[in-house]
Amino acid sequence: MTDPLSEQTRASTTAPWSEERPTAVLVLADGTVIEGKGIGATGSVQAEVVFNTALTGYQEILTDPSYLGQIVTFTFPHIGNVGANDEDIEDLTPAARHGAVGVIFKADMTDPSNYRAVRHLDVWLKARGIIGLCGIDTRALTAWIRENGAPNAVIAHDPSGQFDLDQLKSEAQAWSGLEGLDLAKVASSGQTTHWVEKPWVWNEGAGEQSADQARYHVVCIDYGVKRNILRLFTGLDCKVTVVPAASTAEDVLALAPDGIFLSNGPGDPAATGAYAVPVIQELMQTELPLFGICLGHQILGLALGGTTAKMHQGHHGANHPVKDHTTGKVEIVSMNHGFAVESASLPEGVEETHVSLFDGTNCGLRVTGKPVFSVQHHPEASPGPQDSHYLFRRFVNLLREKKGEELLPERA
């Protein structure tokens, strides 16, 4: 098979500034060197390279804690015209800069032309410490990842154009990768907090939940939670308490929750599961409603006796078709994961509820006879379609059922 990163492709990476030395490089673990124009922060970092197929929402994508330890290649060619603002951020503790560590664009960034922009994207990337390059054939890189899998790499940016390529190759080859890596403790907020921000409303922003609106208490175990998940809970009258990833079952239960949420997050679920699985198993014995998303879904699968595996290229984008077997409906959803629960490993009493229509991988489960379920995709979107918002109502209905209250329609 022809290498998608052909000589022609590599030559095209420097065409826009052929008279100048490239100021950024992406060095793959196999020794491939892709030259480009540096953007964002300077320096170098080891990470896994993935591609994201979303057309919008680059700021939300780059601040999603599930991307910690990864370099995001955008397949959409023009990134930056929306600029950056202080609202479209998904990590809970932005000062810690949890999210993608590197970024790759095809075209040069343009000046912002959106009324919500408060700064240029390049300025924002520098402030976040995100290293990037642009001017390469991202279609060819995406095709390479599809054929060969998500590679370990080093991305480096130096305005002088001086790079020790042999050293960078050694660093790319030496990096252990995401397998066996627990990043949830890094991405977690690290302290117990109360979330009050409500869902964002066009041209109004996000208001705050008042005390009389909090009817159900949800404790979120934060493995790297996204803000919009928490907003959707408060929008359904839930008081939300966020606790660190390493919290014990006793810590959670001491808060007297009506339900428990296992959040998304980065890294290998098996590594995080070393301390999270016993906690989840103990919490399931309480019969409290429990809901998991992304990493939370994977760790729940482990707690139930299943296994997880590293995917070839992962799922990253806002246009993935998923079938909900409980309704028979197909949804277009946002996804961001490089590990998956192995369907065949799910034991008796655990039902597969959702499946990817791209590759048949598991995207959801529930426990027979218990108020416990989870999904692999991101029903909160940000960015992406809102087809799966109903899952939050499904969870809140479990809380209402416990209290003997009338159930909400799943779809508003």
Question: What's the confidence (pLDDT) of residue 332?
Answer: 98
Judged against a pLDDT cut of 70, whether residue 9 lies above it is answered with: no
Q: Which domains are delineated in the chain?
A: 7-174 (3.50.30.20), 184-402 (3.40.50.880)
143-186 pLDDT tens trace: 999 999 999 999 999 999 999 999 999 999 999 999 999 999 99
Are the C-beta atoms of 210 and 232 separated by less than 8 Å?
no
Residue 294 a catalytic site member = yes
Q: Is 321 left (phi over 0), alpha (psi -120 to 50) or beta?
A: beta
Other Cβ atoms less than 10 A from the Cβ of 140: the count is 19
Among candidate residues 35, 294, 316, 363, the one labeled active-site is 294
Structure tokens at 314: 């992962």
Residue 378 a catalytic site member = yes
94-132 pLDDT tens trace: 667 799 999 999 999 989 999 999 999 999 999 999 999
Among candidate residues 331, 337, 380, 389, the one labeled active-site is 380
Judged against a pLDDT cut of 50, whether residue 312 lies above it is answered with: yes
Neighbour-count burial of 185, counting CB atoms closer than 10 A to its CB (0-12 exposed, 13-18 middle, 19+ buried): middle
pTM (2 decimals)? 0.94
Neighbour-count burial of 210, counting CB atoms closer than 10 A to its CB (0-12 exposed, 13-18 middle, 19+ buried): exposed
Question: What's the confidence (pLDDT) of residue 95?
Answer: 63
57-97 pLDDT tens trace: 999 999 999 999 999 999 999 999 999 999 999 999 866 77
Q: Give the residue carrying structure tokens 């277009």.
A: 332
204-254 pLDDT tens trace: 888 899 888 899 999 999 999 999 999 999 999 999 999 999 999 999 999
Question: Which long-range CB contacts under 8 A does 357-363 form with residues at least 24 apart?
Answer: 357/321, 357/322, 357/323, 357/330, 358/315, 358/320, 358/321, 361/311, 361/315, 362/301, 363/322
Residue 312 a catalytic site member = no
Q: Give the residue carrying structure tokens 């940000």.
A: 382
Beta strands in 120-255 (DSSP E): 131-134, 152-157, 193-195, 197-201, 205-208, 216-222, 238-244
Structure tokens at 119: 């700064």
Question: What's the confidence (pLDDT) of residue 189?
Answer: 87
d(CA 125, CA 130): 5
259-308 pLDDT tens trace: 999 999 999 999 999 999 999 999 999 999 999 999 999 999 999 999 99
